[in-house]
C-alpha cells in the first residue's frame, strides 16, 4: 500500500520463543493520519490474537524514522501462488486447509475481531505445513457482533454484496462470504465471480449467481452455496460451517483434519480428547506428527499425517 518499505524474512530467532521471525518495516514519514489509524488497529488486533493458525505479532520496535513489526515467519509461500502454479487442491488437502482457516476465523470472531481482507494471498504456509492467516491491515475490533461497519475493505473479488451496495454492514458475515469465495477457489482453481470491469463484477456479486463444476462433492457444494448467499442474514454462520457435512468424518471412518497443533505429550493416551476450538476432538501432536483423531463412530481409528508431509501433499 506504499507505507511498507519491505517485509524481510530473517535468520533471526525470537529470544523468548526461538521461532524464526519476519520483520515488516514502515517508514514513519510516509504514514498519513488514515494509515496511522489502520496501523494502530492492525497492531491492536494482532496483539489480541494468539492462535496456531494466525501469524503472530511478537514485538513492535520504533526508531526515529521507522517502525519494525516483528512477526512470526511463514516461509512456505501463500495459497494463491500455490493454486496458480499447481492447480486446485485435492479434497483431502482442501479440507485440511479450510479447517485451519475456519479455526482462525472462529477465534477472531470470538474476540470480536473482523479480518475484512481474507483472500488466498493472505493465507500463508509455515515451513512445517501449518496454515497461517496473515495481513490484518484492514482488520477492526468491534464491541459486539451486532456493531455495523461502513468502510469498503479488501479485494473486490472477495467482497460481499453488501459492500458493493455501499451499505452499513455486519462484520462476521463479510468474513464468512470471503471464506466461501476462498473455498470455491481452493476446490475449483477458479473464482466464482469473474468480470473484466468493476461494474460487471459488482453486478455479478450482488446477483450472487455462480456455477459449481459437477465434480465438486455434494457436501462441499452445499457448504459453498450456504455461505455465498447474497442476503447476509441467510448466510451460514461460522458455527454452521463448523458443523457442516463436508467437515464431518466419512462413513469409512477416515478423517483428515488439521485444525491446530496441540502441545500434547507423547506419553498421553491416544484416545484422550483435546479441545481444539472447533470440535471437542482434534489433532494430537506426537513426536512431530499430527495424529488426526476420528470424530465419533470409531474412537480408536486414527489417520496419521506427518506434519513434514503436508507440503508434499500440497505438491501432489
* CA gyration radius, the chain: 20
Report d(CA 258, CA 171) in Å as an integer: 26
Report d(CA 12, CA 21) in Å as an integer: 6
Which stretch of DSSP H or E encloses residue 166?
none
- Of 78, 117, 135, 175, the active-site residue reads 117
Which stretch of DSSP H or E encloses residue 256?
none
Please provide the DSSP assignment of 201-228 as one string. Answer: HHHHHHHT-----TTS-HHHHHHHHHH-
Report d(CA 91, CA 221) in Å as an integer: 12
Report d(CA 88, CA 314) in Å as an integer: 10
Buried b (16+ CB within 10 A) or exposed e, 180-194: bbbbbbbbbeebbbe
Buried b (16+ CB within 10 A) or exposed e, 209-222: ebeeeeebeeebbe
Task: State yes or no: is 117 an active-site residue.
Answer: yes
N residues, the chain: 316
Query: Cell numbers 501462488 correspond to what residue?
Result: 81
307 in Cβ contact with 289 (< 8 Å):
yes
Active-site positions?
A: 117
Amino acid at each position: 500500500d506504499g507505507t511498507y518499505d519491505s517485509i524481510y524474512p530473517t535468520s533471526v530467532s525470537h529470544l523468548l520463543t526461538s521461532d524464526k521471525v519476519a520483520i515488516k518495516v514502515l517508514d514513519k514519514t510516509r504514514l498519513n493520519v488514515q494509515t496511522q489509524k489502520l496501523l494502530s488497529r492492525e497492531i491492536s488486533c494482532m496483539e489480541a490474537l494468539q492462535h496456531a493458525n494466525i501469524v503472530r505479532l511478537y514485538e513492535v520496535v520504533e526508531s526515529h524514522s521507522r517502525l519494525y513489526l516483528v512477526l512470526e515467519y511463514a516461509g512456505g509461500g501463500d495459497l494463491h501462488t500455490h493454486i496458480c502454479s499447481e492447480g486446485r487442491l485435492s479434497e483431502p488437502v482442501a479440507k485440511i486447509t479450510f479447517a485451519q482457516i475456519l479455526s482462525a476465523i472462529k477465534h477472531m470472531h470470538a474476540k470480536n475481531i473482523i479480518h475484512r481482507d481474507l483472500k488466498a494471498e493472505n493465507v500463508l504456509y509455515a515451513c512445517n505445513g501449518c496454515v497461517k492467516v496473515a495481513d490484518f491491515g484492514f482488520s477492526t475490533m468491534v464491541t459486539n457482533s451486532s456493531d455495523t461497519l461502513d468502510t469498503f475493505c479488501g479485494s473486490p473479488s472477495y467482497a460481499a454484496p453488501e459492500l458493493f451496495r455501499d451499505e452499513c454492514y455486519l462484520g462476521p458475515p463479510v468474513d464468512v462470504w470471503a471464506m466461501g469465495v476462498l473455498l470455491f477457489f481452493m476446490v475449483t482453481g477458479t473464482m466464482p465471480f469473474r468480470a473484466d470491469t468493476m461494474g460487471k463484477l459488482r453486478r455479478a456479486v450482488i446477483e450472487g449467481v455462480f456455477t459449481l463444476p459437477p465434480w465438486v462433492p455434494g457436501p462441499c457444494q452445499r457448504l459453498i452455496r450456504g455461505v455465498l448467499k447474497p442476503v447476509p442474514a441467510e448466510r451460514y454462520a461460522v458455527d454452521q460451517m463448523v458443523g457442516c457435512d463436508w467437515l464431518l468424518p466419512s462413513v469409512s471412518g477416515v478423517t483428515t483434519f488439521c485444525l491446530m497443533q496441540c502441545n500434547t505429550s507423547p506419553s498421553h493416551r491416544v484416545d484422550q480428547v483435546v479441545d481444539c476450538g472447533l470440535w471437542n476432538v482434534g489433532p494430537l501432536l506426537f513426536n512431530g506428527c499430527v495424529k488426526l483423531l476420528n470424530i465419533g463412530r470409531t474412537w480408536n481409528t486414527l489417520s496419521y499425517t506427518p506434519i513434514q508431509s503436508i507440503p508434499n501433499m500440497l505438491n501432489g
